[in-house]
Amino acid sequence: MPQAQENKPDNVYESLNLELTGNWKKYQRCRTSCCKAPKRKIVHDLRTTLRRLVAIVDVTRELPFSLKTSKFRKDLKLVLDTVRDLRDLQNQEKELRSKLQSAELKKFQRQLTKQRKKEQKDVKNCLNTVNWKKQDRKYQALSKSLLEGAKNSTQMRQAEPTIQISLASQYQKVENSTHHAVASSPPTLHRARIEAKKYRYSLEATSKIYPVNSQIEDKMKTIQTVLGEIQDTTVLLTFLYEFLVEHKVTDPNSDLIRFIRSTEKRQDESIASFMSKRQQFLDQSRPNFAHKGEDIDKRVSKLRPIGIQVANRSA
């Protein structure tokens, strides 16, 4: 018996609504779990789902309908920012577990654990004050608008070129931040990471209508891993330096020195890897719109990069 084919969206609006609905269900599960016990994996899943939702909202803001989504986006960003520091502490605590050989490192780990527990408590308190029903209503309003847009032929004609311009514009932000990243400036590297994440999640948000080339997706994941390692080591070293100053450690023991030096080495290697491969990353992550026969808006042709193919929905 032949397998039933997966239903493909007929237009941008349906595609975005499918992505919105799927991620909203995941978000509801994650936020419920996080309100009870914000453990490391739950916090990670919550943040990833929130980033996807923010990307979807950002894409919908470019569409030709009147629904205002700025407050909805602000609500999502607030939850995302609420768990940011907790995620950093959880990552660093995990990093230290296999390195605890000296009294100073154990003391440092105890301080991180104390901070993490306090942050967990603060996160739970903050999340339990959020008006989730109000958030759900805003999601429902956006979903309804997308479904209505799918029935409007004028909006559908305008939507695809608009999305293409939006993705091309986002790629340009990635390109600019990547070219301006400086090895000795962690903030510029972090900016490149943020823009790469936004771009990747925007590609994912439109992947049902523009299937992302697997090589591009793999390249984006690889470069994000490298930039994530730079950020993690930067945060860990910041925590370590603050610990040394706060506890007036003027003569750290050999284990602590080795740990700091190994972390600095990892950071240097990750930065060197990013700087040497950034142009290759940009070349391979540039979007390309292969249209279905109709002319692409001239504005898009000026921005048109390489890698995304429009789904053949006649198949």
Whether the per-residue pLDDT at 32 is higher than 90: the answer is yes
Q: Which helix (H) or strand (E) holds 278?
A: helix 254-284
Question: Does 298 score more than 60 pLDDT?
Answer: no
pLDDT band at 2 (very low <50, low <70, confident <90, very high): very low
Q: pLDDT tens-digit profile of 259-272?
A: 889 999 999 999 99
For residues 227-255, average pLDDT: 88
- The confidence score (pLDDT) of residue 100 equals 61
pLDDT at 301: 45
pLDDT confidence bin for 3, thresholds 50/70/90: very low
Q: Is the pLDDT of residue 5 over 70?
A: no
- The 3-state DSSP class for residue 308 equals strand
- Summary mean pLDDT of the chain: 83
Taking residues 237-252, report their average pLDDT: 87
Tell which residue, 11, 27, 25, has the closest CA to residue 63. Answer: 11
- 10 has a pLDDT exceeding 80: no
Query: Which pLDDT belongs to residue 71?
Result: 92
User: Which two three-digit tokens encode residue 294?
Assistant: 């109709």
Q: What are phi and psi of 247, to 5 degrees?
A: -100, 10
Q: What is the pLDDT of residues 46-55, one digit of tens each?
A: 999 999 999 9
Q: State the DSSP string of 58-76.
A: HHHTTSSS----HHHHHHH
Whether 59 and 148 have beta carbons less than 8 Å apart is answered as: no
Of these ranges, 65-74, 112-121, 212-221, 276-285, the one predicted with the greatest mean pLDDT is 112-121
Q: Which of 154, 132, 136 is nearest to 144 (CA)?
A: 136
- For 161-206, how does the pLDDT look when each residue is reduced to its tens digit (9 = 90+)? 888 888 888 889 999 999 999 999 999 999 999 999 998 898 888 8
Model confidence, pTM: 0.84
How does pLDDT run across 89-120, given as a tens digit for each residue? 998 888 887 666 678 888 888 899 999 999 99
pLDDT at 270: 95
State mean pLDDT over 209-231.
79
- Helix and strand totals (H; E) in the chain: 11, 0
By the 8 A CB rule, do 55 and 198 touch? yes
Q: In this predicted structure, what is the pLDDT of residue 157? A: 82
Q: And the tokens for 4?
A: 């039933």
